[in-house]
């Protein structure tokens, strides 16, 4: 084969790859169930990245897959928004050929709406997961997630509807009840309705936030022994050793990590990298697969959590909070790397610092066994200790003289109000900078378009495009046939007018 033939063949392969991704579910192998689905489609995964709202986006999934993750879930998406909002749906469906196997998670309480959303998503994933485990207040208001777990008839209808009409399997993520027997009957009901895989979070609906407590692996083990479909375990997974212990103690087919994964995306590789290595690799992936700034900032704050608690890093913490671009995020990470690499490499001795906390008599840094520049899990205090600590903080705050805050005019203001004023000032500054970019047309005071090829406002750009029969990609002046026709007609009229003027001059 000649070099030209080889290049032609490679181009054809690339073209085919682009054409066949995503692969329509109807063109794949017949829908499999249970362990056939787990083994042949998902590849018998043991290490699973959990569905996390505003967190398990494409860039994060790719980072995790590079370092041990064998299966990923999308963030939870609201089925109604997914059906109605094209922009919301487009962002949710962002993926690539390397992002497989992938399960797409929806929440909702209407079988037909969830089915409509799932039909739109099934070509982009290997299965549809129903969120029956979210315990947050927003799930209570929206009546979905764990707040459906008492409505078994509705859940059975939702699962069976998806099972009957989708070309990909349906799975469920659930929480347990205090009653073990009820949990078993709950899981078996979902299995009968058509769920081909269950993820069991070993906490109840009430265990959340500071009152999270410890997940009960024994209930997960009981569920695993009571159903015939694959079961994933979720809860208490902070390191690779927890993964192995969970599989050994429960007999589950895979282990899902959420918080542990957010603190250390290398968790399934059994590695503890430096926070700057992880952060910079994530930012590199974002160059190709962008994510909303809020997602990026949230990830970096979790990765850098222990380091940003130190008083010496107050500036970096503030800079991270104000950053709005990958370059700004990267600059903060590089600053931390410059400060702490000498300690990591043994050039300087490390002395623990005080945490950046409101308590003046705070204990030394974190009581960690490993230094704060290494990725590590965040351990929540037991609920009893948390309550005791909060009571002590309240007493301490009451015993101190209350700090007063003032605005620029010297008026007394609350701390929250002062923060809001500063935020508004920053927004005004950005707006003023934008207003400084004025249209370059003479006697025009409008703001120019950010993407305009001629540095004009839309009105002036439109006039120039019609006069010169050129197009502006930024303003998309000639994006429709109607505009094209009007521009041509305008040009013809101008030409005819010039001809008439020449004739009159000749006469």
Catalytic residues: 134
CA distance 140 to 133: 11
Cβ distance 158 to 130 under 8 Å? yes
SS3 408: coil
CA distance 104 to 122: 8
Phi, psi of 46 (to 5 degrees): -110, -30
252 Cβ contact partners less than 8 Å away, ≥ 6 residues apart: 200, 220, 221, 224, 231, 232, 233, 246
Cβ distance 166 to 205 under 8 Å? no
Write out the H or E segment, with its range, that includes residue 214.
none
Cβ distance 187 to 227 under 8 Å? yes
CA distance 313 to 329: 15
Residue 368 sits at the vertex; the CA angle it makes with 367 and 374, to the nearest 5 degrees, is 150
Can you give the three-state secondary structure of 1-56, one letter per residue?
Answer: CCHHHHHHHHHHHHHHHHHCCCCCHHHCCCCCCHHHHHHHHCCCCCEEECCCCCCC
Beta bridge partners of 131: 173
Structure tokens at 349: 């001795």
Structure tokens at 354: 């005080």
**HSE (CB half, 13 Å, CA atoms) of 58?**
21
Cα–chain center distance at 430 = 26
- Taking Cα atoms as reference points, which of 230, 211, 189 lies closest to residue 36? 230
User: b or e along 96-109 (b: 16 or more beta carbons within 10 Å of the residue's beta carbon)?
Assistant: eeebbbbbbbbbbb
Write out the H or E segment, with its range, that includes residue 364.
none
CA distance 387 to 210: 9
- Taking Cα atoms as reference points, which of 212, 209, 215, 261 lies closest to residue 234? 215
Structure tokens at 441: 């047309």
């Amino acid at each position: 084969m000649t070099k030209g033939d080889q290049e032609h063949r490679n181009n054809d392969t690339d073209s085919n790859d682009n054409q066949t991704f995503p692969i329509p579910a109807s063109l794949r192998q017949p829908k499999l169930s249970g362990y056939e689905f787990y083994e042949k489609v998902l590849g018998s995964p043991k290490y699973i990245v959990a569905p996390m709202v505003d967190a398990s986006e494409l860039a994060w999934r790719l980072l995790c897959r590079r370092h041990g993750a064998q299966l990923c879930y999308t963030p939870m998406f609201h089925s109604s928004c997914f059906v109605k909002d094209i922009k919301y749906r487009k962002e949710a469906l962002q993926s690539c050929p390397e992002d497989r196997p992938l399960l797409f998670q929806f929440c909702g309480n209407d079988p037909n709406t969830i089915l409509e959303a799932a039909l739109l998503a099934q070509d982009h994933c290997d299965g549809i997961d129903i969120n029956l485990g979210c315990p947050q207040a927003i799930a209570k208001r929206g009546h979905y997630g764990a707040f459906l777990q008492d409505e078994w008839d509705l859940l059975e209808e939702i699962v069976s509807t998806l099972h009957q009409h989708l070309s990909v399997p349906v799975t469920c993520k659930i929480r347990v009840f205090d009653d073990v027997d009820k949990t078993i009957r709950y899981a078996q009901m979902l299995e009968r309705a058509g769920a081909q895989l269950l993820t069991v979070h070993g906490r109840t609906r009430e265990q959340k936030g500071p009152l999270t407590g410890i997940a009960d692996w024994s209930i997960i083990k009981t569920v695993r022994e009571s159903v015939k479909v694959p079961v994933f375990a979720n809860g208490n997974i902070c390191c690779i050793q927890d993964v192995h212990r969970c599989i050994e103690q429960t007999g589950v087919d895979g282990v899902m990590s959420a918080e542990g994964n957010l603190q250390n995306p290398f968790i399934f590789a059994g590695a503890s990298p430096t926070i700057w290595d992880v952060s910079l690799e994530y930012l590199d992936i974002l160059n190709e697969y962008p994510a909303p700034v809020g997602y990026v900032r949230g990830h970096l704050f979790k990765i850098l959590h222990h380091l940003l608690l130190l008083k010496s890093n107050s500036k970096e913490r503030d800079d991270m909070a104000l950053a709005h671009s990958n370059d700004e995020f990267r600059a903060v990470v590089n600053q931390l790397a410059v400060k702490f690499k000498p300690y990591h490499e043994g050039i300087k001795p490390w002395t623990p610092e005080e945490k950046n906390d409101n308590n003046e008599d705070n204990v030394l840094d974190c009581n960690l066994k490993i230094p704060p520049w290494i990725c590590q899990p965040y351990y929540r205090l037991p609920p009893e200790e948390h309550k005791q600590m909060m009571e002590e903080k309240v007493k301490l705050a009451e015993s101190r003289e209350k700090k007063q805050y003032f605005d620029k005019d010297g008026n007394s203001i609350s701390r929250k109000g002062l923060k809001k004023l500063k935020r508004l000032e920053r927004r005004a500054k950005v707006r003023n900078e934008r207003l400084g970019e004025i249209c370059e047309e003479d006697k025009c005071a409008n703001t120019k378009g950010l993407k305009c090829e001629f540095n004009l406002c839309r009105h002036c750009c439109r006039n120039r495009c019609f006069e010169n029969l050129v197009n502006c990609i930024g303003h998309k002046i000639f994006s429709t046939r109607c505009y094209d026709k009007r521009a041509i007609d305008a040009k013809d009229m101008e030409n005819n007018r010039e001809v008439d003027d020449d004739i009159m001059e000749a006469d």
